[in-house]
Amino acid sequence: MRLVLFDCDGTLVDSQHMIVDTMMAVFDEQALPAPSREDVLGIIGLSLETGLVRLLGAEAGRAGECAARYRSLFHARRISSPLEPLYPGAREAVTTLAGQDDVLLGIATGKSRRGVDAVLGGHGILEHFLTIQTADDAPSKPHPGMVLQAMAEVGAVPAETVVVGDTTFDMEMARSAGAGAIGVDWGYHPHEHLPDAGAEVVLSSYDQLVPWLDRRWNEPESAA
């Protein structure tokens, strides 16, 4: 049985505007020096508190209160704003893989479970994911906990598991768990950094994902 674990933000869903705008609002409310947009994008994929510790620097002790305010603001904005869009081809790739008898799908994300349910449920694809690992359940990426828990939950082994993600955190998490690491170049980390973090390939469109997986699983030597 093969397991494909998707990251969410920056991989399946383009949520950058909501995340950056909400983070800037929190820093403004708390009278803290605003981080750059690049710095905020750079922590996407980490759990919220871990990312805030990085952004806050000398004010890291305020990460808990900032995280609570971020969650409140983000939830309010989601109710009043359009749903964050799926990346082109994401729905088709997910449904194609979900239709294969020997493939299981999962999520490994720094989002909360509430956030995953809202965005993927809103797009009507939540049902395709058999295992969902979030910041509520496991240590922050790049710790391998999310991948290890997902494999244990569905009975998969590292050799038949891959992580699809846009950040170095995703690649490092996958490799630490012994799983394959597939990078995508449309997300929030510079894609040229992904191979150094362990990506075996960096894809430039979802059209490439299913063919790549077919080659990887059926012709491992030629796909490497």
Tokens 């409310």 label which residue? 29
The active-site residue out of 9, 14, 166, 170 is 9
How far is it, in rounded angstroms, from Cα 62 to Cα 30?
10
- Four-point Cα dihedral 209, 215, 218, 221, nearest 10: -130
Supply 176's token pair.
């630490």
Asked about 102 being catalytic, the answer comes back as no
H runs (alpha helix) in the chain: 16-29, 37-43, 48-56, 63-80, 90-98, 113-122, 145-154, 168-176, 209-218, 220-223
The active-site residue out of 7, 14, 166, 170 is 7
Asked about 14 being catalytic, the answer comes back as no
Contacts of 209 (CB under 8 A, 6+ apart): 89, 93, 97, 164, 182, 203
Which residues are designated catalytic? 7, 9
